[in-house]
């Protein structure tokens, strides 16, 4: 398959989604830039856009090379009076935002920071999706706080309720790049490893290829990531869905599909890993024999 940039770049997002195209989102900014030394953990403000604009621009370029169609602005917590939560954890607030944004006469995408249990007032994911669609959102879904598997469970609930209500809205998912099956309703921020010891939970590129395929099969067409989603994770989405998109991202030029580049390795047991079956069925070890596999949320 040929390497290429995204064809038809002038098409709007709804035009793309209406035609059945896959739109690949971007990934992690705050967590990634904190690791790179440009953001301070805590309030997670985005002063890096002023202090280190080249670092922000570089990360955008990496997501672009990895296959992202959409680059979101790095403005998290950048309001003059920082909100208590910049996440949308309450359906009512998200609906207000959609209603205001509709006045601009632009397509509105609204994602909530919720899991299968719903918002903080007990409104189910399905009810949240219906409220957002009725308010005028053309694209609805979830982002952050939960891992890929949990987020897809939430997306399924949203899809079922939209269908039952006879509403049409495109689906969008941008989960964490971490495995978080032990999260409570508040998501990964309540786990004791947050935010400085999450590395053992990082999803592999193969995990993300599986996530991308499952999201696509569910009917989600805007597929990306949030905290912990590095450029190589976005590349995994783009490579998994290359048959549907019709092209590979530029960074795949340095990445053999399913480890095929290992065919040139000098050691035969490593050359034997140059196949899809090996990586799909591998159960990777953590290397931490005295650590638990799951945690208990503090909150």
Tell me how many degrees the CA angle 276-252-52 measures, rounded to the nearest 5: 130
Q: Burial, 179: exposed, middle or buried (Cβ in 10 Å; 0-12, 13-18, 19+)?
A: buried
Identify the bridge partners of residue 143 per DSSP, sorted by sequence position.
174
Structure token pair of residue 152: 């897809």
Q: Which long-range contacts (CB under 8 A, 24 or more apart) does 96-101 make?
A: 98/132, 98/135, 98/136, 98/137, 99/135, 99/136
- Return d(Cα 70, Cα 27) in angstroms, integer: 10
Contact between 245 and 4 (Cβ < 8 Å): no
The CA–CA distances, whole Å, from 112 to 89, 194, 238, 248 equal: 6, 20, 24, 30
Identify the bridge partners of residue 24 per DSSP, sorted by sequence position.
223
226 annotated as ligand-binding: yes
144 annotated as ligand-binding: yes
Measured from the Cβ of residue 105, the count of other Cβ atoms closer than 10 Å reads: 7
291 annotated as ligand-binding: no
| Cα 102 → chain centroid | 24
Residues annotated within a binding site for Zn(2+): 144, 226-227
Residues annotated within a binding site: 144, 226-227
């Amino acid at each position: 398959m040929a390497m290429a940039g995204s064809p038809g770049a002038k098409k709007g997002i709804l035009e793309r989604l209406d035609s059945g195209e896959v739109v690949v989102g971007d990934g992690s900014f705050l967590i990634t830039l904190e690791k790179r030394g440009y953001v301070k953990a805590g309030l997670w403000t985005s002063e890096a856009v002023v202090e280190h604009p080249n670092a922000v621009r570089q990360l955008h370029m990496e997501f672009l090379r990895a296959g992202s169609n959409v680059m979101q602005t790095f403005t998290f917590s950048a309001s003059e009076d920082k909100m208590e939560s910049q996440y949308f954890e309450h359906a009512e607030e998200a609906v207000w935002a959609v209603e205001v944004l509709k006045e601009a006469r632009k397509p509105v995408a609204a994602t909530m920071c919720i899991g299968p249990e719903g918002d903080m007032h007990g409104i189910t994911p399905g009810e949240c999706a219906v409220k957002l669609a009725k308010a005028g959102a053309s694209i609805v879904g979830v982002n952050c706080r939960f891992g890929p598997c949990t987020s897809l469970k939430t997306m399924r609930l949203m899809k079922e309720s939209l269908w039952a209500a006879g509403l049409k809205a495109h689906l969008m998912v941008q989960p964490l790049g971490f495995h978080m099956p032990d999260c409570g309703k508040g998501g990964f921020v309540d786990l004791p490893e947050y935010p400085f010891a999450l590395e053992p939970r990082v999803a592999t590129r193969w995990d993300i290829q599986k996530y991308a395929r499952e999201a696509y099969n569910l009917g989600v067409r805007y597929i990306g990531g949030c905290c912990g989603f590095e450029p190589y994770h976005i590349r995994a989405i783009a490579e998994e869905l290359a048959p549907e998109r019709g092209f590979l991202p530029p960074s795949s030029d340095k990445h053999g599909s399913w480890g095929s580049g290992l065919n040139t390795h000098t050691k035969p047991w490593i050359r034997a890993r140059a196949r899809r079956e090996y990586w799909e069925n591998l159960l990777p070890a953590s290397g931490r024999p005295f650590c638990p596999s799951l945690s208990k949320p503090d909150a």
